[in-house]
Amino acid sequence: MAGTTVREYGAFAPQEEEVVAHAMSLDSALGLEGGLRLVPAAGEGKGRGLLASKAFEQGFVIFKDDPIAALHQNKDECWACERCLKVMGSASDRESWLARRSDSGEAGGSGSSSSKPDRAPRPVPCRGGCAELYCSEACESHAWGAYHRLICPAGGEIVGDPMQSAAYWMREFNEHADETNDIFRLAARVYAMVVASVVPKGGDAEADGSLLSLHLRSVRHAWKLPWWEQVALPHDVDDETEFRAQLKDLAKDSFDLLSGALRLRLPPSVEESGLLDGGFDLYGRLVGMFELNNLEIFHSAEAELGPVEGTAFYPLHSCMNHSCDPNVVMMFCDDDDEEGANGDPEAESYRCYAYATRDIGEGEEVTCSYLDQDQLQLSTEERQDLLRDYGFRCRCKRCE
Ligand SMILES: [Zn+2]
Ligand SMILES: [Zn+2]
Ligand SMILES: [Zn+2]
């Protein structure tokens, strides 16, 4: 939502009362009592935004934010937990761990790699038998209950009609995502969370479900258009209709593969209940939401193992509007770095922290930059051109 105006969505724009009600329910869900206020209109023609309801000093952590879902993207270089992106070793550590595991013919394995420090997490494999590895029993259990039980690509050798194997559909889905857009993997995970929270079965899916349903309310309010409608038109494309139709087809192929698996893994009563009706629309909006609002994750827990790179959707971060002169910067904590974690005892690898880059007064809007440091040095015109991808024109002090 950050950076987009309600006005731009014309007929899709939610009613003012809906926006206010939504902002209030988000406030309580996100625990915004600590000096922040989510408002439906942050002024200067902007949509919702975050305001400081008390003064913050420079260097203060204004809020911490955990993602709804995170995707590890540099698997070739680094070994990290599928769910929380905690570093577990190098890519070759992963290979040798998997090799030892298959040698011993035993799920779970025992030793940790000698190149890793003692405090390195012990890898826990997916109980379904796919190649995903987690940093702890807790992470594996959480992921399984919340989403992975529906989208695990494992299922042994496929015998007989592959169409009757959920594993077949998920392998096809993953292959399609690898070839086209890996954001589909993230959208599938969150889509599975929504479905799993409505059809609970083991695990602690409910916690995710309740927060998610609030976020999905904003999706249903059509604050976000489906991916194929909101992606900015590339400069070299002439036929907009054709371009958007192609993107929609791509998303439909992806969704059909995902649905193929879910249909086989959910009780038949779920489909009959109509719970999955409108699923493609929701899927399209999720992809759109992640495409525009994701924060690139980049943290280096242990320098010699290389940095973890990924992308994730952070609910509070996504409420902030852009400014070319932002008063907040988002930072990740390093496992080694007590300071970065701000002494936070529950710090997870993917948790990020919003620091005040200068004193912020009561009532002032809290903003971050969607552009990186180098891009912020560009001319106003060049910055506006980059921001076009987000569908708005910046009206900050530097731009006006
Ligand atoms: Zn983990
Ligand atoms: Zn699995
Ligand atoms: Zn600006």
Could you write out the DSSP letters of every residue in 108-159?
T-SPPPTTS-TTSPPPEE-TT-SS-EESSHHHHHHHIIIIIHHH----SS--
Euclidean distance between CA atoms 271 and 263, whole angstroms: 7
pLDDT surpasses 80 at 12: no
pLDDT surpasses 60 at 398: yes
How many A from CA of 322 to the centre of ligand 3?
Answer: 7
Pair 388, 370: CB distance under 8 Å: no
How many A from CA of 143 to the centre of ligand 3?
Answer: 39
pLDDT surpasses 60 at 163: yes
Pair 153, 189: CB distance under 8 Å: no
Break the chain down into helix, strand, coil percent, rounded to 5: 40, 15, 45
pLDDT in the model for residue 205 = 38
Q: Say which ligand is closest to the CA of 128.
A: 2
pLDDT surpasses 90 at 360: yes
pLDDT in the model for residue 17 = 54
Give the global pTM.
0.80
How many A from CA of 310 to the centre of ligand 3?
Answer: 26
Q: Would you call 106 helix, strand, or coil by DSSP?
A: coil
Q: Which of 87-101, 135-149, 253-267 has the lowest mean pLDDT?
A: 87-101
Beta bridge partners of 65: 352
Same domain, 107 and 44: no
Q: Please write the tens of the pLDDT for every residue from 78-131.
A: 888 999 888 888 888 888 888 888 777 654 444 444 444 445 678 999 999 998
Give the mean model confidence (pLDDT) for residues 58-81: 86
How many A from CA of 38 to the centre of ligand 3?
Answer: 21
Q: Say which ligand is closest to the CA of 138.
A: 1
How many A from CA of 112 to the centre of ligand 1?
Answer: 16
How many A from CA of 376 to the centre of ligand 3?
Answer: 9
Same domain, 30 and 160: no
The count of structural domains within the chain is 2
pLDDT surpasses 90 at 318: no
Most confident of 49-53, 137-141, 266-270, 293-297: 137-141
Same domain, 262 and 328: no
Q: Is residue 304 part of a domain?
A: no
How many A from CA of 156 to the centre of ligand 1?
Answer: 25
Among the residues of the chain, which ranges form H helices? 16-29, 91-104, 137-143, 149-151, 166-179, 183-198, 205-220, 227-230, 240-265, 268-272, 279-293, 373-376, 380-387
Report the percent of the chain where pLDDT is more than 70: 73
pLDDT in the model for residue 353 = 85
The residues, any chain, with a CB within 8 Å of residue 56's CB and separated by 6 or more, are 35, 62, 356, 359, 360
For 33-62, give one letter per residue: b (16+ CB within 10 A) or e. Answer: eebbbbbbbbeeebbbbbbbeeebeeeeeb
pLDDT surpasses 80 at 293: no
Q: Is residue 248 part of a domain?
A: yes
How many A from CA of 152 to the centre of ligand 1?
Answer: 17
Domain that holds residue 368: 7-66+314-390
Same domain, 86 and 53: no
How many A from CA of 352 to the centre of ligand 3?
Answer: 24
Question: If you count them, how many residues does the chain have?
Answer: 400
Euclidean distance between CA atoms 286 and 234, whole angstroms: 21
Same domain, 191 and 243: yes
Q: Is residue 298 part of a domain?
A: no
How many A from CA of 72 to the centre of ligand 2?
Answer: 15
Q: Which of 12-26, 27-41, 161-175, 237-251 has the lowest mean pLDDT?
A: 12-26
Give the torsion through C-alpha atoms of 32, 34, 35, 37, to 10 deg: 0
Give the mean model confidence (pLDDT) for residues 162-185: 94
pLDDT band at residue 241, thresholds of 50, 70 and 90?
Answer: very high
Q: Please write the tens of the pLDDT for every residue from 322-359.
A: 999 999 998 876 544 444 445 555 566 778 888 999 99
Same domain, 152 and 266: yes
Give the torsion through C-alpha atoms of 132, 296, 362, 44, to 10 deg: -130
